A = this chain, B = another copy of it.
Amino acid sequence: MADTPDKTFPAVQGGGSLIVAWQVKGKRILVVGGGEVAAGRILNCLNADALVTVVCPPSGLNPEVAHRIAQSQVTHLARKFEPSDLDGADMVLVAVDDPAASSEIWQLCRARRIPANIADVPPECDFYFGSVHCDGPLQIMVSTNGKGPRLASTIRKFIAAALPRDAGRAIETVGALRVKLRAIAPRPEDGPRRMAWMTKVSDKYSWDEMCGFDEEDMANLLRYYPSGKVPELDVLRAMRNGDENQLDVFDGSFGFSVGA
Contacts and interface: CB of A to CB of B under 8 A. Distances in A.
Interface stretch (A153-161, A215-223, A252-260): A153-161
A50 to B, nearest CB: 7
Contacts of A158: 162-163, 207
A83 interface: no
B16 A127 contact: no
Contacts of A199: 150
Given A67-B8, A207-B154, A20 B129 contact: yes
Interface residues on A, range: 35 or more
A174 to B, nearest CB: 4
A126 interface: yes
A47 interface: yes
Interface stretch (A134-142, A227-235, A242-250): A134-142
15 contacts: A15-B136, A15-B137, A16-B139, A18-B50, A19-B20, A20-B129, A21-B127, A21-B130, A22-B127, A23-B128, A130-B139, A147-B171, A147-B175, A147-B178, A148-B202
Contacts of A162: 158-159, 162
A145 B137 CA distance: 6
Please give me the 5 A-B residue pairs with the lowest Cβ-Cβ distance, nearest first. A147-B175, A17-B21, A148-B174, A20-B127, A113-B113
Contact of A49 (B15, B68, B112): B15
Contacts of A59: none
